[in-house]
Amino acid sequence: MDNRYLSVIVIVQVLLLLSNVQMHGEEQKEEPQRSLSLSTIESRVSPHFEFTLPSGNISERIEQQFNNLHTVFNLNFNLLDSSIDADVAIFYPLGFFIPGIHFYQNVDFENPVAPQFQDGELSRLPTKKFVSRDRGIGLDFIFHLTPIFSIIPAFLMNETFKARFTEDLILDEGIDWIAKLSFVLDSAKSLPAGSPAPKHGIGFSSVFSTRFRDVLTNPVSIDHTNVLRTSHQFGDRLFLTESIGFNNPIYIWNTEVAGFYSLGGFNTIRGYSYGSVAAFRYLLNRIDLGAGVFPNAQIKLKLRKRRATIGDYRIFLILDGLLAQDRLSWDSPVNIYGGCGAGFAFLISGEKQQHLKVSTYVVQPVEPGRFPIFYFQTSFFNFEKQI
């Protein structure tokens, strides 16, 4: 009996084992196969930092790309003039069409002049208690028709506020609706990323903008802005850059809230303080003629286990000219401004494609009785790096 019981138990165990093997086999056949797909995430960051004296201007620009999403952040802080400008732009390229949106806010706490219009003439009242603020949102639609030519329609909502604290007086307040149409030509856009700068480059932009106050049935002005930039490299040591800007109102309906151009400083007419020149229209020409010197003189540095090289020395000649009108009529008197000077710059190159450009300039205004202005500028930047 024991042997028969034992044989039955063995047979039952064998049958159970075979049934389990068959069931597992059927489950493996019915289970769908899983596949794992990997996608590449591309991210690039390109920072740029700049500091300029005597204005105490500090600017920061960061461009970031995360796959197709592009983000640009700009911050400009003027220490001595107490002004802050900030802008954040987001773009999403879709082939030749690039839609975008940007947010901005500009605040000036100590504008040196307050505008006043009388019979179409622009006068400036000196004050240090005049504050202005502009903030808004804009929609950009970029169409790349060719590798170097683009058309950009844009729409902005701008809230402006200008007041004089000493008299508790509001000079201007309201919401501006601005429609822009830009035509942009840039010969460097067709170059692949990481390519060296071409020996001859040209860039041109023409912008038409129409401004309305509060409602679209209340037009204020139609403005036209043109900027032409050229850069040339002759041989290995001679460089020439030139920019010509022409800004003028095509038509103005409301003179009391019409805008004017505030010029002066390192980025406009050099040799004049920031905001010292106001005009309804102007023609600005800037010329920089540079030459490379000491091509083989490189200085090696080592700071805290980091290596750097000082080189790329250049000297510059500077010529700036400005023709400006502070009245609306085309036959109004033209005010002439100019500056000439010289500068010296060198580049400190470190590891991981990091660079620091140091520049010094001395510019003498052509007006009698004005003293030369000394500029000191540093720019820290690095090439795009993939994260």
Spatial neighbors of 237 by CB under 8 A, at least 6 apart, are 291, 292, 293, 295
- At 58-87, the pLDDT tens digits run 898 888 888 889 999 999 998 877 889 999
**DSSP state, 327?**
B
Phi-psi region of 6 (alpha: psi -120 to 50; beta: other; left: phi over 0): alpha
Q: What is the pLDDT of residues 201-254, one digit of tens each?
A: 899 999 999 999 999 999 999 999 999 999 998 888 899 999 999 999 999 888
Measure the CA–CA gap between 59 and 76, rounded to whole angstroms.
4
Which amino acid is present at 123?
Answer: S
Contact 372, 380 (CB under 8 A): no
Q: Mind listing the pLDDT tens digit for each residue in 365-379?
A: 988 888 899 999 888
Q: What share of the chain is helix, strand, coil (3-state, %, to 5)?
A: 10, 65, 30
Count CA within 13 A, CB hemisphere, residue 333: 4
Return the pLDDT at 266. Answer: 84
Q: Are 357 and 383 in contact (CB under 8 A)?
A: no
pLDDT band at 22 (very low <50, low <70, confident <90, very high): very low
Q: What's the pTM value of the predicted model, to 2 decimals?
A: 0.78
Q: In angstroms, how far is the first alpha carbon of the chain from the final one?
A: 78
What are the residues whose beta carbons fall under 8 Å from the beta carbon of 303, sequence distance 6 or more? none
Name the residue among 126, 96, 95, 122 with its Cα closest to residue 110: 126
